[in-house]
Amino acid sequence: MPLIGVTSQTGRTGRVNVTPLWGVREPYRAALEAQGASVVVLPPQPGPQLEAVLARLDGLLLPGGADLDPRHFGEDPHPKLGQVDPLRDELELAAARWAAAHGLPTLGVCRGAQVGAVALGGSLYQDLESAGFTRIGHDQTAPAPALWHTVELEEDRWLAPLFGRRFRTNSYHHQAIRDPGPFRVLARAADGVVEAADLPDHPFFLLIQWHPELLPDHWGLFGLLVEAAAGRRASAAD
């Protein structure tokens, strides 16, 4: 059974709300296990320890969450920048770079997609509305499992067998990929916002801007990660 590492996000617990708590939201675990994976949670840790853990994994999931600090792509904070988490940024950027360099199958979801792009030299729109993207509301008010806007493919790889060339997704974000760096854009929203991208010449490094973990009909995306991870595991056993 492929072992998928999921980078964690932080919360606070305790009587005075000061004790950090690192964990993973339930829909990610459910989606991965439904596709046949075992899940391990990755908290922040020193670089050598993180690399040792990553080397034992078959795949990596970079999940959604808070905004990425714009200093990682050379910008000062926009007035509408939300909460940032330096420890999580450090963890995920390092994990994404290691995965890219070592061929570790990786799926980035929402924030995770943005992390993947920035880790390899790309950049983000810190706030879509302020950047002029007003044709579509990307931070939907309807709760899951409501779908929000249409996505159209530019490349058939990975997504077309699951969804066809035009489909609807949910949308819970106000930041998005501006410069994808070395990633190839696979799909966009009607206003041009990047919705999916992959890393050419990598076994599987897929970035998805929406939240498929909230849509069981989209869990096939996690199946792609698990399938790639199983292939890596089988190759290592030969």
- Domains (ranges, CATH) in the chain? 3-237 (3.40.50.880)
- Give the type of residue at 40: V
Is the pLDDT at 13 greater than 80? The verdict is: no
Q: Quick one: residue 115, left, alpha or beta (phi over 0 = left, psi -120 to 50 = alpha)?
A: alpha
The pLDDT assigned to 10 comes to 82
Active-site residue list: 110, 211, 213
Contact 59, 205 (CB under 8 A): no
Task: Return the DSSP state at 95.
Answer: H
Contact 80, 29 (CB under 8 A): no
Helix (H, G, I), strand (E, B) or coil at 181: coil
What digits encode the pLDDT tens for the residues 87-122? 999 999 999 999 999 999 999 999 999 999 999 999
Pick from 9-23, 91-105, 203-217: least confident: 9-23
Contact 151, 169 (CB under 8 A): yes
What digits encode the pLDDT tens for the residues 122-178? 999 999 999 999 999 999 999 888 999 999 999 888 999 999 999 999 999 999 999
Cα 198 to Cα 113, 124, 187, 236: the distances in Å are 10, 16, 10, 23
200: burial class by Cβ within 10 Å (0-12, 13-18, 19+)? Answer: exposed
User: How far apart are the C-alpha atoms of 166 and 160, rounded to whole Å?
Assistant: 9
